[in-house]
Each structure stands twice: as C-alpha cells, then as structure tokens.
Amino acid sequence: MYTVISRFVTSSQKSPLLRCSVLKPSTLLSFRSYSSDPFRVKQSQPKKDAKPTSKFGKLVKYVQSEYFQDKTMPKIYLSAIIVAFIPLYFYMRDRYYEDKQLKIIREKYANDPKSLSEYEYLALKSLSQTDKLRPLEQKKYKIYQLMRKEFRRKNFLSGEMFNPSPEELDDWYSKQARFSSKKKKAPILQDVSEEYKVNSDNSSIAAPEDTTDFYDAKAKEYDDAVKWEERGIFMGIRRRWLMSHVKGDVLEVSCGTGRNIPYLSSYIEKVRSITFLDSSKNMVEVTKEKFEKAFPNFKKVAFTQGKAEDLLKMAPDDNSLKYDTVVEAFGLCCHEDPVQVLRNMAKLLKPGGRIILLEHGRSKWDFINNHLDFRSEKRMKKWKCRWNLDIGELVDEANLDITLEKRAHLSTTWMLVLKRPEDPITLDEKPFLDKLFGRESKSFRK
C-alpha cells in the first residue's frame, strides 16, 4: 500500500496541476478515519470554566445556578405578590368606604334632597350621566378629592366618613403649597363673586370692546385671511360637527362671512327656517351671497344685522319668536358681554331646544394657557379676539347645563351642547344603559 501511494505521489509530481507530499503510514490512518465522513470536524477538549473575578460575574453565575432557580426564585415571586397586594388592599378599602358613603347619600337624597352637604351633592352628581358637573362644580369637586386622599391616608384604620364643610375645605386649600405666594381660596358655587372668576382675575384677558367697525372693514378679505389657518388645523371637521346638530327653526349668532354654510348642505333637510345674525353689515352681506348661491331654492331664510347683546330687544314682545337650535362659532370671544349673549340665546329657545357652540378658549393644561395669555394682546390687535377666555365659566354664569362636551387642538377648541336647567335630556343624550333597558335617566337637584 505504501509503495502504491508513493508511486502515485511520484508520478503526480511530474504534473503541474497535482502536487502533494508523500504520505506516511500514520498520516494514512488519520486520512482513512476522516475519509469516511468528510463533514466531520475534530472536537476540541472542553476547557474548564474560568472562575468569575468580578462581583457581577459571580452574581450572574449565582442567578444561573440550580439553587437560585429552585429555592430563591419562588421566594422572590411570593414576596412580589405580597407587596403588590398591600396597595391593592388599601385601594379596595377606600373604594369600600366610598361605596358605603354613596349608599348613605342616596338614602338622604331620597328622603330630603336639601339635607345633602355640598360634598355629598357633588359626589352624587358626579356619578350622574344626565346632570353633569358644571365647570365650576368640577373644579371644586377636584379639590374635595385631593383633600379626601389626604384624609384617607390619615384615617385609613378608622371607618370615619369624609364629609367636610366648605369652610373646612377652604381652610385646607389655602394652606397647600403652591408656586406663587398668593393664597387662593376654593371656588364658591353659590353667588360667585369676582374674586373666584378666572375671566375677571386674569389680567392677560383683554378688555371687551365693540368689534363692529373692525369686522366691517375686514369682511371682504376675511375668508382669504383665515382659510389657511383653519385648513392647517382641520377646522372644517369641527364646523361640520356644529352643523350636524341643527334642526327645525335655526338661529346662527355671529354668522360672520358664513363659513359654516358649505357644511350645511348635508343637513339642510332638517332645517325648517334659518336666520343669520351679525353686528357687521358687510359680513351679513357676504353670508347672504354665499347662502343664496349654495341654496337658491331655500325660501325661509333671514339675514339680520344686530348685536347679540340686543337679541331680546329685537324679538317681538309676545315671545312668538323661538328657535329649536341656536348655533354660534367663535363668537363669544368677540362679544362685549358673552354671558348676556348666552342668556339671550337661552330665552329664545323653544322647550327642549339646544344651544350648539364651537368656541376657542382656555385649555386644560396651564402651559397652553400661558401661551394663550402671552399672545393675547397680539391676537386682540389682529382679530379682536379674546381667545383665552374660560368658556366653561361663561356657561356657569349663564346658568346653562352642558349635555355634551368635546375638546380639540390641545383642548383649546370647545364643542358644547347646552340646555336650560328645566329642559329634560333627549333620547340621543341618554346614557347607553338607560337606552338599552328603557329606563328614565335620573336628574339630581338640590
């Protein structure tokens, strides 16, 4: 065998394409063992694990050990479950006492609604989907909730019910830490004075003024000036929402140049008559041109020049002029007396009528409000618009109920459906469960 291999190698040396050295018997044996499995790789001897020198290395080795997996991990899981149950216990205990107190409040309300304290009334009303908390009530109820958390932490072992008086709440609230040195008081729900009103207390809100002459001069160029701003924030969607609520006899206050008219086409069949009102004569004329072009066959339409503050003076003395829907888009910021305007709207409503508002105002976040306040003077000069008003506060002062509230654009755009306190809610405004089971929605009044 060795001779054959040697001859093969000797003969191969003469060829330039095949060259190799002479194979020795020991090499041949190794060659035979690997020739049977050409993909076999010689395994190296396992090396002993090096001992970890760092603390992290020792920790990793300990975590990977069988002792840690079988003995330590179950203890860690059990401890985590116990720790998680501690806050859960206190949370459920707090909910238990809250539910217990609500049962007592409901019994008191059933016997005598006037016996409820201010906190009990707000707590009961906050659960109602029919009578929502008004903006001022919501602000005060949040303060009650903050005080309640502190009360529960100090009295978590006792079963004492949380029911402070407005004076106790005011004393607690005035002692809370705040950035400014000025002490603040909690809002008063009845007979609200100027001290508690955001719109009166905020010096950044421009003083109201008559904007009629300004918009008379702006009427022809107004649409071109605002169209790109509105397109950039998709304001058309909000205007369509506004027009989707119109029905019956409609009054649009502060109609401007009729920027809502293009979105009325889908809902014009629900409209019996429509009246457009604005203090600017030139803007009313632009609105008339747009409406007659869009709806040439609609006959029951009127175009009126006048200030919204004088609505009742313009209406007949026999109260025969009433509306099913009163709408307004971005008008409250331009009125001299927006609260009086809202009250006038309410008095011109038919029973069950609704006021639909699309307005810009203060946000839910302070950093946005700081920006609105910072630019309020420039905004007033450019558009005669007080865009940093608290719309919810205006609704409160006008004594109107909010049946639907939506916010957009960092909550600076308000979309509201308002009703008078004496009017019931409609079927569409009922909570889902009341619709499903045909129940009457309860209203909570003191």
pTM for the full predicted model: 0.70
**pLDDT of residue 168 exceeding 80:** yes
What pLDDT does residue 248 have?
97
What pLDDT does residue 332 have?
96
Q: Given pLDDT bands bounded at 50, 70 and 90, which one contains residue 48? A: low
316: its two tokens = 């007949």
Q: Which residue has the higher pLDDT, 53 or 304?
A: 304
Residue 360 DSSP SS3: strand
What pLDDT does residue 201 have?
73
Query: Taking the C-alpha atoms of 378, 387, 208 and 335 in order, what is their torsion angle to the nearest 10 degrees?
Result: 130
Q: Give dist(CA 413, CA 110) in Å, integer.
A: 39
pLDDT > 90: percent of the chain: 47
pLDDT > 70: percent of the chain: 79
What pLDDT does residue 10 have?
47
| Mean pLDDT of the 38-64 span | 64
* Across 22-36, 121-135, 257-271, 356-370, least confident range: 22-36
Residue 384 DSSP SS3: coil
| Mean pLDDT of the 196-224 span | 88
What pLDDT does residue 252 have?
98
What is the dotted CATH code of the domain comprising 205-437? 3.40.50.150
Cβ neighbours of residue 213 closer than 8 Å, sequence gap 6 or more: none
Q: Give dist(CA 70, CA 66) in Å, integer.
A: 6
Is 109:116 a contact under the CB 8 Å cutoff? yes
What pLDDT does residue 94 have?
80
224: its two tokens = 């071109």
Cβ neighbours of residue 323 closer than 8 Å, sequence gap 6 or more: 248, 249, 250, 251, 275, 348, 349, 350, 353
**C-beta atoms surrounding 183 within 10 Å:** 10
Kind and range of the H or E run holding 197? none
**Could you read off the pLDDT of 301-341 as tens digits, one per residue?**
999 999 999 999 998 888 889 999 999 999 999 999 999 99
**pLDDT of residue 352 exceeding 70:** yes
**pLDDT of residue 368 exceeding 80:** yes
**Which of 88-97, 185-194, 248-257 has maximum average pLDDT?**
248-257
What pLDDT does residue 253 have?
97
| Mean pLDDT of the 334-349 span | 96
* Across 133-142, 348-357, 370-379, least confident range: 133-142
Q: How many residues belong to the chain?
A: 446
Q: Which of 135, 138, 147 is nearest to 176 (CA)?
A: 147
Q: Which residue has the tokens 């502060």?
A: 254
**Could you read off the pLDDT of 62-108 as tens digits, one per residue?**
888 888 888 888 888 899 999 988 888 878 888 888 888 889 998 99
Question: Taking the domains of the chain in order of start, what are their residue ranges?
Answer: 90-176+187-196, 205-437
Mean of per-residue pLDDT scores for the chain = 83
Q: Which residue has the higher pLDDT, 344 or 27?
A: 344
**Could you read off the pLDDT of 388-434 as tens digits, one per residue?**
999 998 998 999 999 999 999 999 999 999 999 899 888 777 766 66
| Mean pLDDT of the 366-385 span | 93
Q: What is the DSSP letter of 182?
A: S
257: its two tokens = 């140049």
Query: Taking the C-alpha atoms of 132, 430, 403 and 187 in order, what is their torsion angle to the nearest 10 degrees?
Result: 0
What pLDDT does residue 273 have?
97
**pLDDT of residue 42 exceeding 90:** no
Q: Give dist(CA 178, CA 184) in Å, integer.
A: 9
